[in-house]
Chains A and B, each alone.
Chain A
């Protein structure tokens, strides 16, 4: 599928984060798998989504708190990795590292973009208010659609732009250097999963939860042994 349509699908998935539905399809585990499937590599999409998911699961979007845009970052990261994969199929660690670093950068930019969009929505809200004062009820529906369209367009362009730039820059890495980076990055998955577990443990601080967590570890070891 063409990268633009993948970016558009990514933008639509990101809308689920806060703007519409909120049925969890924007979470990396789900969205990266969907995009992997659309790009004919479901297994890689799922694997990347699994790695990214733990990093963001403990972030609570409470009130107006500015949190890292993990869903947007993961979607951009997986698309960069998916675009690079046909070029460097044997360098899995490099692909994960490239996707991960892109995801972190975009999640930071995305947090600022969200704040800017929320500020832009003040203008939309003021327009709704003025239109209602003039007796135009349909303005609420039109302005809501406009706010969503602007957000979708910006998200799609951001994803598309960063994937193009990311792939353009990374494809020039020489094969010898790629092999080295791939070797250096061989422990990256362990670090990401470990960091994700460490972050997520903050959600289960009580003594009861800790006991359940330890019981889960034993169960996990048993499952592995079986």
Chain B
């Protein structure tokens, strides 16, 4: 990433390091005005403001720049940084006369929507997030000491936010460095190792958590392990039937209360 940053700064570009830093911080508000009409558009424009001000010479020009990007846009919030970086680069090239067709930028932005959404959902929501949380859950369940349990929770934040912040940073810098060519980075194969690592962490931690809590209940009387095991089985069966989430969760709870009456 250092190389990418050096390349960016070596170019005779209008965007400065401090603009990129400001855009980066603003990207954390990407979903602040998430809405059913334009989805991420407002957050996307909010992140673009420092670039818009730098790349245009008048207030009218800045408004025209932002208005152009106030149209439907969707992406995973972290991966949206790739689009932000690439759009800044393309707008800069447009101002410099390297790109002639302005409409091409809009088409490119729309073409990125699917890839940015799918990548983020597969990587973060389905692998990194559960993996990091299950790591913390297993630690909090196994350790008896409160300090160690809190350490497990801090580990969750660390394990999750390393890839999270990396994607935000690399997305912005690589997007800005490469413009159109950023699409070559947006393939799940590029993130396969990280995804598999977190899927492994998640599966093994869920196993450790299940094995440990199961053993704990087994060491008590018969009923706790029975309720525990039955709840797992019921949930596996119910979820296959695609029953409403609230109803599925209520069934083991009701069962526990009924068995508590015995």
Contacts and interface: CB of A to CB of B under 8 A. Distances in A.
Interface string B104-136: 000000000000010001000110011011101
A46 B157 contact: no
B209 A125 contact: no
A121 B215 contact: no
A20 B229 contact: no
Contacts, number: 298
Most buried by A among B29, B223, B233: B29
A198 B32 contact: no
A177 interface: no
Contacts of B256: 185, 187-188, 190-191
A63 B203 contact: no
Nearest to A183: B260
Interface stretch (B7-15, B66-74, B95-103, B180-188): B66-74
B207 A214 contact: yes
A82 interface: no
Interface stretch (A5-13, A52-60, A153-161, A168-176): A52-60
Interface string A116-135: 00111110111011001101
B4 interface: no
A140 B225 CA distance: 55
Contact of A144 (B29, B39, B117): B29
Main secondary structure of the interface of B (DSSP, over half): helix
Interface residues of A, number: 88
B211 A194 contact: no
B234 A198 contact: yes
Most buried by A among B78, B224, B235, B259: B235
A195 B129 contact: no
Interface in B151-195: 153, 156-157, 160-161, 164
A18 B140 contact: no
Most buried by B among A122, A203, A221: A203
A219 B77 CA distance: 36
A25 B161 CA distance: 11
B249 A217 contact: no
A50 B141 contact: yes
Interface of A: 18-25, 27, 29-30, 33, 42-43, 46, 50, 53-55, 57-64, 68, 97, 100, 104, 108, 118-122, 124-126, 128-129, 132-133, 135, 137, 140-141, 143-144, 147-148, 183-188, 190-195, 197-204, 209-210, 212-225
